[in-house]
Amino acid sequence: MTFTELKLIKPLLTALDKKGYKEPSPIQEKSIPHILQGKDIFGCAQTGTGKTAAFALPILQLMDANKNPNKRREIKALILAPTRELATQISENFREYGENLGFSHTVVFGGVSQFHQEVALRKGIDILIATPGRLLDLMNQGIVKLGGIEYFVLDEADRMLDMGFINDMKKVIAKLPVKRQTMFFSATAAPAIMKLANTILKNPVSVAVTPVSSTAEKIKQSVYFVQKNKKSSLLKFILKEHKIDHVLVFTRTKHGADKVAKDLNKFDIKAEAIHGNKSQGARERALKGFKDRKLNVLVATDIASRGIDVDKLTHVINYEIPETAETYVHRIGRTGRAGESGEAISLCSDEEFKYFKDIQKLIKKDIEMVKKHPFS
């Protein structure tokens, strides 16, 4: 299956070609035809499956088919995302995929001044990507009006519920036109998710890909068993020994992320931490530095990592083993994307062994144990 066979228009195919994307991922293959037919979608898919393109491409195509150049610009598509990072990432994807179509879009989120966001909105835009809190603020001030929305996407709905956005979401949804096309994406189909989906979707088509237990086959996974106080030395050894100069490192806590970044910088390894206590500006600068490869190591907590999407990322290191096995799958899914190979390395201390056993049980696969290393 190719993108051409999905009946995408030439301007989108040109943009995909420029990105080097030849074949649609399973979620794209299953979603795009239904969205192009105007159907509502319930998509069960995780970050890293290509779901942004699964809704962005058909929305851009439908908007292009229905555009009226004589009409004043008003927001036609609204994409609601749980975090600033994810909203920014979606915004970048719309810019790349839609570069030959001439639509304008902007992204709005809290934690920064609304001035520039307001300026963009007042000029008139076609597509709005937003986090719930800031969107409601702007709606209450009369700056954003949702009466012209034809396409609505709720992305990472499970994360929205986890973060306590349910009331904000309901307030936003109440202001949307009844006649619209809705796309609902979640990594899980838990009862609370299904209840929410049933209230906003009309005769939806359900599409699901890769359950959480199956990790990308192309990702090579290994584990080093090590005492907790030797992890820092082992991390430096692995980076040097494997000549890894571009890697995403995961910790469980914000404090842990700061400490790892600080330790690496002492050894002239350019590293920065990204987590909820950092300002939005600092997080964006760190992410940009990492994407541009001016930064070797990005150290992230799980919440901050949502929305991090880096092309051709070869390595992920779990400095600390996550407490839930599903989180491990989300983490390592940052590498081995778009058909590339990737490697995930975990550092496991005695007290984390129980979490590691849960991971092996979930993924139904033995993770290679590296026995010979200086800190075993």
Residues forming a β-bridge with 316: 248, 344
CATH number for the segment(s) 219-369: 3.40.50.300
Q: What pLDDT sits at residue 101?
A: 94
The more confident residue out of 279 and 322 is 322
* pLDDT, position 212: 53
H-helix or E-strand spanning residue 162: helix 157-162
Query: What CA–CA distance (Å, rounded) separates 176 from 137?
Result: 16
Mean pLDDT value of segment 89-99: 94
pLDDT tens-place string over residues 341-361: 789 999 999 999 999 998 888
pLDDT at 60 over 60: yes
Average pLDDT along the chain: 89
Domains 4-208 and 219-369 equal at CATH topology level? yes
Measured at the CA of 128, the angle between CA 304 and CA 50, to 5 degrees, comes to 55
- What single string gives the DSSP state of each residue in 49-107? SSHHHHHHHHHHHHHHHT--TTSPP---EEEE-SSHHHHHHHHHHHHHHTTTTT--EEE
C-alpha 33/C-alpha 155 separation (Å) is 19
Collect all residues with Cβ–Cβ distance below 8 Å to 105 and sequence separation of at least 6: 91, 94, 95, 98, 125, 126, 127, 128, 129
For residue 323, what pLDDT is reported?
86
Selected residue with higher pLDDT from 140 and 213: 140
Between CA 293 and CA 113, with CA 93 as vertex, the angle to 5 degrees is: 80
Does 191 have pLDDT greater than 90?
no
Question: pLDDT value at position 216?
Answer: 56
190: left (phi over 0), alpha (psi -120 to 50) or beta: beta
User: Can you identify the CATH homologous superfamily of domain 4-208?
Assistant: P-loop containing nucleotide triphosphate hydrolases (3.40.50.300)
Say which amino acid occupies 325: A
Q: Does 211 have pLDDT greater than 80? A: no
Check pLDDT > 90 for residue 330.
no
Give the residue-averaged pLDDT of 230-247: 93
Q: Name the residue ranges covered by the structural domains of the chain.
A: 4-208, 219-369
